[in-house]
Structure 1
Amino acid sequence: MAKRKAVVSIQECVACGCCIKVCPRNAITILKGIHASIDRELCVGCGKCAKECPASIISLEVTER
């Protein structure tokens, strides 16, 4: 079964933290104050982070399982 997972473009992320505030699973952290990182095991693909990102650099990708 295919699932959706959030992916962040680390080259464009400015580590504003908006995505962290809306993630219901606490799957997002800011690494070294540089960019967001999404734990793919915790991510449920709800898309809240992608909607909240002011730079629109978080997207959802379909994965196999």
Structure 2
Amino acid sequence: MKASEMREQSAEQLNEQLHGLLEEQFRLRTRKATGQLEQTHLLQANQRAIARIKTVLNEQSKKA
């Protein structure tokens, strides 16, 4: 999802998405540690999505 689309969502919705991405990141890291993760690019994509959400949340908190 693009940052412009995220800016239209509420902080509650973004926090729910962030929580889901953090859970997914944990699963991916566990799979990588056990050698079961073949698509390692998913880790980087997940991390970027987390950073994007945190950036939008920070922008929203500074506006308020």
Q: What TM-score does the superposition give when structure 1 sets the normalisation length?
A: 0.33
Decide which structure has greater strand share. Answer: 1
Q: What TM-score does the superposition give when structure 2 sets the normalisation length?
A: 0.33
Instruction: Pick the structure with greater CA Rg.
Output: 2
Decide which structure has greater helix share. Answer: 2
